[in-house]
Structure 1
Amino acid sequence: MNVSIAEAKAKLSELISRAQAGEEIVLTRHGKIAARLVPPLGENLLPRIGALKGKIWIADDFDELGPEWDEYVK
């Protein structure tokens, strides 16, 4: 839906409700796109802290260098 900025000022609350319902609103100034009101992102898109607990395993010696690195560590 395209809406002029002047019209958007008068109907901002309605436009926000429509965007929350999933509609994309394009705001125009002199017929050119100036901004977009887009639906909010889903609430569960970001991973939660601890979501991979018990699913990742790191070896006890993962940070120990093998003998092939001896000459580089000197």
Structure 2
Amino acid sequence: MAQFNIADAKAHFSELVQKALLGEDVVIARDNKPLLRLVPLHVAGSPRKTGSAKGQVWLSEDFDTTPEDFEDYVR
């Protein structure tokens, strides 16, 4: 994650926009405290890339198993 203070972000805004468009995490900070993240907008109707999240999404084997301490709340 790249973090930039407001003055640097102001001076290099077009570079930061390009980084965000390329998928980099761009954070703008004040006094070294993160304030906001620069992210691209996804245009409605733009085609999704099939398989783009492959290997990034997973569910544990017990995903839909009710925890033992919640049994009283299940009908």
Normalising TM by the smaller chain, what interval? 0.5 to 0.7
Within 5 A, what are the aligned runs for 1:1-74?
1-41=2-42, 43-44=46-47
Could you tell me how far apart the structure 2 residues matched to 1:22 and 1:36 are? 12
Gaps of 5+ in 2: 49-75
Runs of 4+ in 1 over 6 A off after TM superposition: none
Q: Deviations over 1:46-70 (max 9, x none)?
A: xxxxxxxxxxxxxxxxxxxxxxxxx
Aligned length in residues: 45
Could you tell me how far apart the structure 1 residues matched to 2:4 and 2:40 are? 16
Over the aligned positions, Cα root-mean-square deviation in angstroms equals 1.7
TM score, norm. by length of structure 2: 0.52
Is the 8 Å Cα contact of residues 2 and 26 (structure 1) preserved in structure 2?
yes
Deviation at 1:41, TM superposition (A): 3.1
- Larger radius of gyration between Structure 1 and Structure 2: 1
Identity of aligned residues (%): 40
Could you tell me how far apart the structure 1 residues matched to 2:12 and 2:20 are? 12
Gaps of 5+ in 1: 46-74
